[in-house]
Each structure stands twice: as C-alpha cells, then as structure tokens.
Amino acid sequence: MEKYRKEKCEMAYKGKTKKKNSLKNRFFQIIMISTIVSILATFVLSSMTISSVEKKQIQKSMRFSLHQISTSLDQGYLNLVNIMQNLEPQGSSGRAVTDYLMQSENYEKRLQRYYVQEQLANILFTNLNVRRVFYEDASSKEVLFTGGSAYGKVSEQKKELKQVGDNLFFAIENDKNKYQSQYLISMEKQKQKFGESELDIYLEVQLDDLAMEDYRLLQLNENMEVLYSEADEFPQGEKLNFIWSGEAAENSFREKEYYLLMEKSRMGFYYILAVPLSVYNHESREWQKHSILIFAVTLAVFYSIVLVVYRMIGKPIEKLKYEIEETGKGKFEVVEEDIGMEEFNQILATISRMRQNIRELQEQERRGYELRKKAELEKLMYQINPHFVLNTLYSVQWMAQRDGNLKIREFVHDLTVILSYNLGKENGSSTLRTEVEIARKYIEIQKQRYDFEVMLQIEEGSYLDVPTIHMLLQPLLENALQHGLGDRGRLELWIFEDVVREYAGIIVRDYGDGLSQEDYRRISQPLGMETDNAKKAGIGFRYVRYMLESFYGEKAVLNVNSMKGRGTKISILIPLGEKGVQLKMK
C-alpha cells in the first residue's frame, strides 16, 4: 500500500513538472511585466498629477494675486469715499469753499481762498496717494480750486464704472511713463450745493505697484463689459458671455488663448486676472522635463535593486525547488539546512512539517486499516459462535419441554435467541426495537444468576424501527451487570425520542463502584492502541463506540459520566431521519 502511494505521488509530481516555466522564470517575467506596466502607469499618472498639481498651484497663485489686487482696489475706492467726505459741503474743506463763495469783499475772499488751499494741502499731506483733487463749476466747468501733482483737464475717455447715489466711480486707468506704470482710480461727486452755487468735486488717487508679472488685469462693470484691459485680445467695450456663479473655484475659464480667473468686487463690479496659455502651460512643461529626469534616475535605481533582489533570492528559490521535487519523489526526511534568509528558512521548516504530517497520515492510514481488522476480531471475541452450541441448546430446550420443565425451557429459549442474534451477519444493521427485545431476554437470563432490580423505560414509537448498529445495548448492559451492580443491585435503561431535534436517546445507568480516571482512560483508548494488560478491559464499550462512529460518523454522541463510588451513566444520542443531529453533550 505504501509503495503504491509513493508511486502515485511521483506520477502526480511528474504530471505537474511537464510545464516549462519555473518559479524563477515566472518571477523574472512578473517583475519585467510589472515594471513595464508600472513605468507606463507611473509616467501617465505622474504626468497627469504633476500637470494637475502645477496648474492648481498656478491657479492658487493667480487666485491669491487676484484677491490681493481686488482687496487693494476696493480699499482704494473706499479711501476715495473717505477723503471725499472732507471735500463735501459738510466737510472742513467743503465749509471753507462755501465761506469763500459767500464772501463779497475781495480782501476777505482772498484770505478765504488761501484757507481753502491750505485745507487742500492738508488733505494732500495726510493722503500721499492723492494725485489730483479739484472743485469746478457744475455749469461752466470752470475749475475754482485744485491740488495735487497732476495738472490739466481730466480725460474725457474715463469710463464710468458705477453710480452710487451722487457718487460716480470711474474705471481703472494706467498712467505709464518711461520710468514706471501706475494704476489710477477716481470718483466724482456732481452738483453739490455750496451756498447758492453748484460745484462738481473730482478726486483721483494712485495705487502702489501691484507686481503682477505675467498676469493681465481686466476690470468689468456689472454688465460684464470690459472697461479696463491690459490684454489687447479683450479691448474696452467688449462684453464677455460669462455668468458669475458665486463660487471662486467655478469662475475660471479659457478664452482667446488666455486662462481667465474672475473675482467679484464688494462694490458689485468684477476683476479678471488673465494669463496667456503659453505662460500657463510653461511651468507644466518644465515640471515634465524635471519629472522625466527624476523618473530615469529612479528607474535606474529600481532596476539595480531588482537585480540585487533577484540574485539574492535566486539561490533560495533553487533550494526550495529542489526540496519540492524531492518531496514529490517521496522523500519525507526533515530539512535542517540554513539558507541564510529567515523567510526561506520558515518555508523550509514548513516543508519539513508537511513531510512529517504526510508520514503521520500514512502511519494513521496504516493503523486505521489494522484497527478495522482488529474491530472485526474484537467482535468475534464477543460472539460464542460454534453452531453446534445452538444445536445442543435446541436439544436441551426440547428435553425440558418434554419433561415439563418450563422454566428451563424459557431460559434456554432466551439464550438461544441471544446467541442466534449475536451470530448474525458481521457489520449488519439492526433496529432499536430488536435491540430492546434482545436486551430484555439478556436481562432475564442474567436474573437467573444475579439478584438485582431492573427499571426499563422504553418510549413506544416508530423511531424504534429505525436501523441502527448491531449489538448496541447488550455490551453496555453486560458491563453494567459485571462491574456496576454494587450494594443497591439496580440497573436502569431509558430509551426515548426527541421529535423536534430528531434524535433517539439511550441511557444505561448503574449504581456500582464507578470508574476511576485511570479506568476511564483505559476503556477510552481506540482499538489497537491499548496496552497488553488492558486489551480485554472495556471491549464492549470500545466496540459500541467504534460501531457508532462507523455507522453514524460525527452525528452520534456517546458520553460517560462516572464517579468513583457513585456508579456510571452512559448516554447515547443517535440521529433519526434525514436531518440527523449534531449535539455536543456537556
């Protein structure tokens, strides 16, 4: 049998080794394929990621710059309003202008004019960014008072940005010269009453350098009309077809080879920061060049590491391959070689344990085969088989009947039935009902020898006709009578059915000396594993347990409860029907 098993193992191994690809070759192929796939995936993902990150960085920088510009310009318009409050008729400068206009005498008027100029000078001194301020007649447009570094008429090209009450705000202007470029914002307060005169007040301030580098600034009114533009592609007066969404992340778009980012002023108009797409994509291209260089260096390092790892694990893999081949050929010796790597040593240790387990399984299979033969012999030991004994008993029964000795006749009859049953077909099945009848006759025979009390509780039902093992009850009853009558001289047998869980319960109980732990250990040993001194101890119990396992598998349960000096109770659960039962008795 062992030789056949070994040949079968070798055939299975040879069938598997027909494949040409070794583990080492597959490992190299996997590394190559995974590397190529990783390279392509990394290149695509890195390009997309770097481009996305860079563009997000540019957008973030643009959004930050636009917010600074918007804040600076809004603050500039707010400063215009604050300064204008001093120039209004209710302000200190405005009251001085009113007093000037109300004077009729030239001397007083001249003194008041100096005072007005002094007020304007104070405004210019405290607000260094004021570039121009003047009062002019609303009708004749004659300039009455002026101040600041700029002179001359106000440009008629000014674009009206927003009208708020009598405050008129103008769009941004860019005052360029060969030295610098400055942003100018202005406002006008029209037809203000100074006594009996109506004057217009004009105020203009310049802003600090906004340092926008490659960015282009656009200013739009509430109707999305361009009023100020630093990009020739978006001239003044052009209207953009764009709807403000209110979300900063959504107010960006591309148009005319520009990337545009929009922000709404607190005053209701809009600022746009535009950057040419060539500039917008320049940083991404630079990042791609750097990433390709980094990628090439990383790839070289990666392949160097792969080669080192490949060479490092090549020898252990060859060793594993050799040991697997030897295992396939039937070599089950323990591997004790150290190949220098903990992980591979663990695999070799696993191979050794596997070989040991295979040897143990083979040994268990051999012992199981011997146990089955042993069980057959153990059963035959339980059967007093010679047929001439039956023939002799039949003769004794006939002689007792002839002489009128009915008691002997019944005794011999019961003994004949039991012996005939015990001589039944080996491994044959029986029924609970038959087992109960044999048990009754066996007890009647033993009563002729022993003086004991019997309590039988047999629940009637169709479950008694379910097939079960041959000689289920008699060995247990015999053990109870021989070792468990004790002082009370009482034997109990219960058989009942559990309809819900579909099992039959059997309880055999005596009140004798009980079993010690050593006794229980001895009778619980499997057939063939007992010592020479205990071969005959508990043969009936071990036979019943073995037959239950053979007939029902794991579904049947046999449990022994015994205590020294208090007797023994044996409980058996056997399944009924198709459901069966799988219980664990505690």
Question: How many of the other CB atoms lie within 10 Å of CB of 409?
Answer: 18
**CB-based contact 62:275 (threshold 8 Å):** yes
CATH (one of 3.60.15.10, 3.90.550.10, 3.10.20.30, 3.30.565.10) for 425-575 = 3.30.565.10
Highest mean pLDDT range out of 170-184, 240-254, 426-440, 532-546? Answer: 426-440
pLDDT higher than 70, residue 11: no
Instruction: Please give the Cα distance from 189 to 200 (Å, whole number).
Output: 6
CA of 381: how far to CAs of 244, 286, 306, 423, 540, in Å? 103, 96, 71, 11, 10
pLDDT higher than 60, residue 364: yes
Instruction: Please give the Cα distance from 453 to 440 (Å, whole number).
Output: 13
Among 23-27, 172-176, 564-568, which stretch is predicted with the lowest mean pLDDT? 23-27
Between vectors from CA 215 to CA 210 and to CA 216, what angle results, nearest 5°? 90
**CB-based contact 138:200 (threshold 8 Å):** yes
Length of the chain, please? Answer: 586
Question: How many of the other CB atoms lie within 10 Å of CB of 513?
Answer: 19
* CA pseudo-torsion sign 258, 262, 267, 269: positive
CA of 215: how far to CAs of 52, 218, 239, 258, 523, in Å? 20, 10, 20, 10, 98
* E strand spans, 89-171: 130-137, 143-148, 160-164, 167-170
Percent helix, strand and coil across the chain, each rounded to 5? 50, 20, 30
Residues 6+ apart with CB under 8 A from 36: none
Q: What is the pLDDT of residue 584?
A: 35
Q: How confident is the model at residue 212 (pLDDT cuts 50, 70, 90)?
A: low
566 DSSP 8-state letter: T
What is the arithmetic mean of pLDDT over 141-160? 73
**CB-based contact 454:443 (threshold 8 Å):** yes
**Residue 150 vs residue 546, higher pLDDT:** 546
Q: Which residue has the tokens 């007066």?
A: 237
Q: One-letter amino acid identity for 511?
A: Y
Rg (CA), the chain: 56
CA of 104: how far to CAs of 89, 115, 137, 204, 406, in Å? 19, 16, 18, 31, 169
> Which two tokens mark 433?
């009902």
Helix (H) or strand (E) holding 498: strand 490-498
Q: What is the pLDDT of residue 571?
A: 94
pLDDT per position as a tens digit, 401-460: 777 777 777 777 777 777 777 766 444 578 999 999 988 988 888 887 777 888 999 999
Distance of CA 194 to the CA centre of its chain: 79
Closest C-alpha to 225, from 235, 215, 210: 235
Q: What is the pLDDT of residue 496?
A: 95
**CB-based contact 232:274 (threshold 8 Å):** no
What is the arithmetic mean of pLDDT over 230-250? 74
Instruction: Please give the Cα distance from 584 to 116 (Å, whole number).
Output: 111
Q: What is the pLDDT of residue 13?
A: 46
* CA pseudo-torsion sign 399, 405, 410, 415: negative
Instruction: Please give the Cα distance from 541 to 558 (Å, whole number).
Output: 10
Closest C-alpha to 526, from 499, 510, 545, 500: 545
**CB-based contact 420:442 (threshold 8 Å):** no
Strand 490-498 to strand 453-458: parallel, antiparallel, or no bridges (unpaired)? parallel
**Residue 47 vs residue 546, higher pLDDT:** 546
Residues 6+ apart with CB under 8 A from 27: 310, 313, 317
3-class SS letters over 59-72: HHHHHHHHHHHHHH
Using DSSP's 3-state secondary structure scheme, residue 396 falls into helix
Q: What is the pLDDT of residue 493?
A: 93
158 DSSP 8-state letter: P
Highest mean pLDDT range out of 150-159, 342-351, 501-510? Answer: 501-510
Q: What is the pLDDT of residue 586?
A: 34
470 DSSP 8-state letter: S
Longest Cα–Cα distance of the chain, Å, equals 180
The residue extents of the domains of the chain are: 52-282, 332-368, 382-424, 425-575
What is the arithmetic mean of pLDDT over 546-573? 88
Instruction: Please give the Cα distance from 531 to 15 (Å, whole number).
Output: 45
pLDDT per position as a tens digit, 535-557: 456 677 888 888 888 888 888 99
Highest mean pLDDT range out of 141-155, 331-345, 346-360, 383-397? Answer: 346-360
pLDDT higher than 90, residue 328: no
Percent of the chain, pLDDT > 90?
A: 7
pLDDT per position as a tens digit, 86-97: 888 888 888 888
Instruction: Please give the Cα distance from 35 to 303 (Å, whole number).
Output: 9
**Residue 103 vs residue 498, higher pLDDT:** 498
